[in-house]
Amino acid sequence: MTHASLLTKICGLSTPETLIAALDAGADMIGLVQFPPSPRHVDLGKAAELAALARGRASVVVLTVNPDDALIDAILKAVSPDFIQLHGKETVDRVAEVRRRIPVIKALGIATAEDVAAARAYDGAADYLLLDAKPPKDATRPGGLGQAFDWSLLDSFKVGTSVLLSGGLHPTNVAEAISRVRPEGVDVSSGVESAPGVKDKAKIEAFLINARAAAGSMR
């Protein structure tokens, strides 16, 4: 990996301008959302255009929620991503099934010690485990929705699979998160936005600079 072995992922990109800003600032992974209820959703045609801009400069991740085989087929055909990010209630068996076709990032919501225990079951099933804040019970979308969770819950979380930390990260707290949790990577979406779904180039740059500085100080 680059950048002092810390992976950086900017998720929910939806315009060429902000995608290129993330690439120019050195993001290792860019995330494209394939989930219509999200303000960051891009259709497969747009996702393919954005993926083409990133190809060779960063890994392309398509985020989807409880996809059936037909949607996986469509994503692979249209976008040809490097990873599928599963952000729903996919079982360990389903994650392993999808992974036989393409590398997988499995997102898991964390709010309690029970959630941490449940996440351990996915060790070895995915290429990366993305630990995110659990959405509130009345939420209409999965994911942390900009909220951080109690990082101390991860003090005893030791797995063989590489961990990406997400949920409520932004330019001013990412260094603390990295030093506290020591993940293999960090993932941000709403924390680098000026409005829901609207990425902010300056915030993207600041997030990546601060993340790399924190990783460098830990070498």
Which two three-digit tokens encode residue 168? 């409520």
Which two three-digit tokens encode residue 12? 């929910």
Reduce the DSSP state of residue 54 to 3 states and report it.
Answer: helix
Cite the beta strand spans of the chain per DSSP E: 7-10, 29-33, 59-64, 83-86, 104-110, 128-133, 162-165, 185-188, 193-195, 198-199
Q: State the residue for tokens 């994911």.
A: 143
Which residues, in sequence order, are CB contacts of 143 under 8 Å at separation 6+? 87, 107, 109, 132, 133, 135, 166, 167, 189
Q: Which residues are catalytic?
A: 11, 132
Radius of gyration of the chain measured on its C-alpha atoms? 16
Which two three-digit tokens encode residue 63? 């985020």
Distances (CA, A) of 68 to 110, 134, 138, 141, 174: 24, 23, 24, 18, 34
